[in-house]
Amino acid sequence: MKKILTALALAIAALMLATPIGISANVSDFNYTVNPHFVKLGPDTTLPNGLPLCKSSSLGSIVCYTPKFIKKAYEFPSLATLDGSGQTIVIVDAFGSPTAAADLALFDAVFGIPAPPSFTIFCGNAVNPYDPSQCPTVNINNSNPHGEFGWTIETSLDVQYAHAMAPGAAIVLDVASTNSGNAINDAETAAIAAFPGAVFSQSFGIPEIFCVSTPARCQLGPAQANYVNGVANGDTFLASSGDTGATFGTSTPMGNFPSSDVHNTGVTGTQGLPYNATGTLTPCPTSTPFSCTSGLSAYHGPCVLGRTIPPNCVADGYGGEQVWNEPQFDLATGGAQSLLIATPSYQSGLGLSSRGPDVSYNAAIDGGVLVVYGGFGSPVLFIVGGTSAGSPQWAGIIALANQARANLAKGPIGDLNPTLYSIYHSSRYATDFHDITVGNDQLVGTPVGYAAGAGYDLASGIGSPIVDQLIVDLAAA
């Protein structure tokens, strides 16, 4: 595999957790921020030779996945069948990253992914949004509350993994000038007008407790108006549910806005089952495919998980999943009933008293995805996890579904949730989704969390996708 200058690191390009800057009546007094965590794994200048195990370190053995492993596990269709052609994915991030285009090109070269038909940097708050010079200037060393460094890593994750799942789709990076609600809402307003029928990914949010007393403070009205206008134009919106459990580290369970909005599909997190305990290295036999797993992914040999020379293990398909909860990193998926949003009609009959999350996707840190990042001056590989990894990959899935619909002379799926729950209540549910039945989203040290169980639950929604089968039903809807 192609050599690149790397400092292999474990990172959580975490979902943006809101940090209020004040408690005044000013409606723009909060910022969305990120809190990435880094552990340097080694000085290697090549990609890991032991995939799906990246490296042995002080933490033990760290599992990581390339796009090929993820797509095989979730059973994506072949690129010859569907690749997202004719579709547009809009990634919404604040600040963006000055190396986003170069990082994407290197990511594609390293992992053998075709370049997108177009990659557009859209400065959503600018007079001329197509002029990159009007986007904000990013300073990754800025220690102010905006967390610009974390946003740049988030940008790399979002762009690369939305593209990896749907390489034929056009990618638009909608860059907000800052991470306050007004700026992000206004940037989305401009993108909704410019790209009708697109799929929007939002790996950010604010724990609803900050919005209960003064909803205007969190700009809920403008955000919800965007979503209403967008779905009327055939747009689909996805958002991440959070990385600090059902309570976001408090004593109160809550949703995460905008994932809790009725027109957003809220994505929770999973991890492998059986969970590959760090420090475990096991040989994989050659005779029976699917005889070994590294959590989410099944694989076969000849290989040894964690070997330092080729051959790598070969991805075969799905291993298994449970609710994402990693006490060793003090992280767990969000997933709880909303403090703000009433139960929508499509979630009736589920025993909810208010809005709950919808679907799930791999979010493990020990089991994260490989991301290229060039903000340090030379390309670096990170292992990245968190529910922020699920939203852009789900966006790629919907781009594939919209292509399948276009092939049937149908328009884009638009408002996704009514169709998802129609599938959930049908005989096709077990064909289209992995029902997550193990684990819980109670963050260590907090008093409340929710256990997974058969069917819908707050920790995992209706489950994770079996992509090629799910697309059949999304196309037919």
Which residues span the domain enclosing 134?
A: 8-476
The answer to whether 237 and 414 have CB atoms below 8 angstroms apart is no
Rounded Cα distance, 204 and 15, in Å:
5
Confidence of residue 120 (pLDDT cuts 50, 70, 90): very high
- What tens digit of pLDDT does each residue of 40-70 get? 444 333 566 567 777 655 556 778 889 999 9
Answer for the pair 241, 266: CB distance below 8 angstroms, yes or no: yes
For residue 257, give the amino acid letter: F
Cα–Cα distance measured from residue 365 to residue 27, given in angstroms and rounded to the nearest whole number = 35
What Cα–Cα distance (Å) separates residue 272 from each residue in 194, 386, 458, 465?
39, 13, 18, 14
CATH of the domain at 346: 3.40.50.200
List helix spans (H) across 233-263. Answer: none
Question: Half-sphere exposure (CA, 13 Å, Cβ side) for 173?
Answer: 31
Q: What is residue 69's predicted lDDT score, i.e. its pLDDT?
A: 93
pLDDT one-digit tens code per residue, 417-446: 999 999 999 999 999 999 999 999 999 999
Q: Please give the pLDDT value at position 144.
A: 62
How much of the chain is in helix, strand and coil states, percent to nearest 5?
25, 25, 50
Q: Which two tokens stand for residue 307?
A: 């070997």
Q: What's the pLDDT score for residue 8?
A: 35
Lowest mean pLDDT among 58-67, 216-225, 344-353, 375-384: 58-67
Is 1 inside a domain boundary?
no
Is 3 domain-assigned? no
Residue 400 lies in a domain: yes
State the pLDDT at residue 305.
58
Instruction: Look up tokens 């997108």; give the residue.
Output: 116
In terms of average pLDDT, the best of 5-9, 35-39, 449-453 is 449-453
Domain contains 31:
yes
Question: Could you read off the pLDDT of 282-329 as tens digits, one per residue?
Answer: 666 666 655 677 789 988 776 665 555 666 778 889 999 999 999 989
Whether 246 maps to a domain, the answer reads: yes
- pLDDT class for 36, splitting at 50, 70, 90? very low
**Reported confidence tier of residue 5, pLDDT bands at 50, 70, 90:** very low
Work out the average pLDDT over 201-221: 88
Q: Helix, strand, or coil here: 165?
A: helix
Residue 2 belongs to a domain = no
Closest CA to 367 of 29, 95, 113, 66: 66
What band does 16 get if pLDDT is binned at 50, 70 and 90?
very low
pTM of the model: 0.92
C-alpha separations of 430 from 157, 334, 351, 424, 426 in Å: 30, 24, 21, 8, 9
Q: Residue 253 domain-assigned?
A: yes
What's the rounded mean pLDDT across residues 160-177?
A: 97
Eight-class DSSP state of 432: H
Q: Domain tally for the chain?
A: 1
What is the rounded CA–CA span in Å between residue 122 and residue 430? 39
Mean pLDDT of 148-177: 95
- Lowest mean pLDDT segment, chosen from 83-87, 242-246, 376-380: 376-380
| Residue 362: inside a domain | yes
CA 19 to CA 210: how far, in whole Å? 9
Rounded to 10 deg, the angle between the 181-194 and 220-232 helix axes is: 10
